[in-house]
Amino acid sequence: MGVNLKGKSFLTLLDFTSDEIRYLLDISKQVKVERRAGTPTNRFAGKTLAIIFEKRSTRTRTAFETAFGEEGGHAVFLSKDDIHLGVKEDLKDTARVLGRMFDAIAFRGFKQETVETLAAWSGVPVYNGLTDLYHPTQILADFLTIEESLGSLKGRKLVFIGDSRNNMANSLMIGSAKMGLHFIACGPKSLHTDPAIVDKCKEIARTSGATIEVTEDIDLAVKNADAIYTDVWASMGEEAKLQERIALLKPFQVNRELMERTGRSDTIFLHCLPAVKGNEVTEEVFESPASRVFEEAENRKHTIKAVMIATLL
C-alpha cells in the first residue's frame, strides 16, 4: 500500500486518508493475533512514552500503558497535578521539554488546541486520547469491532443515538465519511452535530461513497441498521446538565424496543464506555448477545498499539 506514517501525530481522523486508516486497522488485527497467541514482541524497547491526562480514564490509560509495555517500552503517567500544563509554564515550553525527554506523547483532556500545540512544538508524535472535540483512537477500536462482527465496513449502516454534538458523534461521523459507511446521527435538534463538521463529512463522503445524515426521526435512523451506538448523556464536565439531558434524551434510550425497530435480529450494539445503564442504554441491551462493548474495550489496546507502531517505527 506504500503507507508511511512515521513521525506523524494522531490528533483527528480528518488528517488521515482511508488507505492510512485501513493500514492502522490491518496492523491492529496483526498485533491482536500476536497478543492472543502469546507471541513475544519488543518493538518499543528503549523507547519512552509520556501519558498526560487532564481527564480520568479507564480504557484509554490502560490501553496506552499496556500496549507500550507489552512492546518493551517505558510509559510515564503524568496528571495535570504532576506537571506544569499551561500553568506556571507556557504550554509550548512544556511541549519542547517533553519532546526532548520522550519518544512520543499521549494526551487526554479538554481542548483540542492543547493536543495540537503539543504536536506542533514537541517534535515527536502526539496521540489524542480524547478531547472535547474528537476521540480518534476510540473510532479505530469501534471499526475493528464492526469488522470482526460483521466482516466489513463499507456500506454498513452505523447509527449514533443520543447527544449528537459530542466528541464521539463527531469522530464516528468523520471515520464513517472516510471509510464509506452509511452514518446517521440521531438525537434532538438542540443536540445535533456541528453543521461545519457535517458539511466537511459530506464533502469527504462524495469521494468515499459514504452517506452522512443527521435526523430526529428514530424510526428512519434505526431501520435496517447494522450497528447502534450510544454514549453517556452528559460528558465529563457536563454533570450539572444531566437532569436536563435526561428529560431531553429519554426518547432516544437504546432499549429492546429500539433495537427491535431496526427490523433485524443481527444488529450489534456499541458503546465507548463508561455506560450509565438505565439512561442511554438499558441493562437488558447492554448485557444482550447483540452487545459488543467489551470486545470494543479490548480493541482500544490493539488499535492504540497499531497507531504507535505505525508512527514510531
Question: Is 166 one of the annotated binding-site residues?
Answer: no
- Flag whether pLDDT at 84 surpasses 90: no
Q: Is 138 an active-site residue?
A: yes
Tell whether 145 is in a known binding site: no
The pLDDT tens digits of the residues spanning 61-74 come to: 999 999 999 999 99
Q: Is 256 annotated as a binding residue?
A: no
Compute the average pLDDT of residues 216-230.
98
Q: Is 100 a catalytic residue?
A: no
pLDDT band of residue 10 (cuts 50, 70, 90) is very high
User: Is 108 labeled as ligand-binding?
Assistant: yes
- Give tens-digit pLDDT for 104-114: 999 999 999 99
Query: Mean of the pLDDT values across residues 182-198?
Result: 97
Is 137 assigned to a binding site?
Answer: yes
Q: How confident is the model at residue 82 (pLDDT cuts 50, 70, 90)?
A: confident
pLDDT-derived band at 48 (thresholds 50, 70, 90) equals: very high
Catalytic residue among 108, 182, 271, 302: 108
| Catalytic annotation, pick one of 182, 245, 253, 272 | 272
272 carries an active-site annotation: yes
Average pLDDT in the chain: 96
Per-residue model confidence (pLDDT) at position 86 = 60
Helices (H), the chain: 18-37, 59-70, 91-101, 112-122, 136-150, 167-179, 195-208, 218-222, 242-249, 256-260, 283-286, 293-312
What would the pLDDT profile of 261-284 be if each residue is shown by its tens digit?
Answer: 999 999 999 999 999 999 999 999
Q: Is 193 annotated as a binding residue?
A: no
Point out the catalytic residue in the list 61, 135, 245, 271: 135
Q: Quick check: is 186 catalytic?
A: no
Q: Which of 61, 182, 245, 300 is catalytic?
A: 300
- Residue 300 appears among annotated catalytic residues: yes
> Positive or negative CA dihedral for 34, 36, 42, 46?
positive
- Find the mean pLDDT for residues 180-201: 97
pTM: 0.96
Q: pLDDT tens digit string along 196-206?
A: 999 999 999 99
Q: Which DSSP helix (H) or strand (E) runs through 104?
A: strand 104-108
Paired residues of 104 in beta bridges:
49
Is the pLDDT score of 292 beyond 60? yes
Residue linked to cell 447502534? 228
CA torsion through residues 192, 198, 297, 288, sign: positive
C-alpha span between 42 and 84 (Å, rounded): 32
243 is in an annotated binding site: no
Q: Are 275 and 291 in contact (CB under 8 A)?
A: no
Quote the cell numbers at residue 173.
461521523
Any binding-site annotation on 235?
yes
* Residue of 138, 156, 186, 201 marked active site: 138
Mean pLDDT of 279-292: 98
pLDDT score recorded for residue 1: 54
Instruction: Indicate which residue of 132, 142, 163, 231 is catalytic.
Output: 231
Of all residues in the chain, what percent carry a pLDDT higher than 70? 97
157-161 and 227-230: which strand pairing?
A: parallel
Alpha carbon distance 303, 292 (integer Å): 16
271 neighbors 135 (Cβ within 8 angstroms): no
pLDDT of 79: 85
Is 98 a known ligand-binding residue? no
Q: What is the pLDDT of residues 150-176, one digit of tens each?
A: 999 999 999 999 999 999 999 999 999
Taking residues 228-234, report their average pLDDT: 95
Domains of the chain and CATH, by start: 13-134+299-312 (3.40.50.1370), 138-296 (3.40.50.1370)
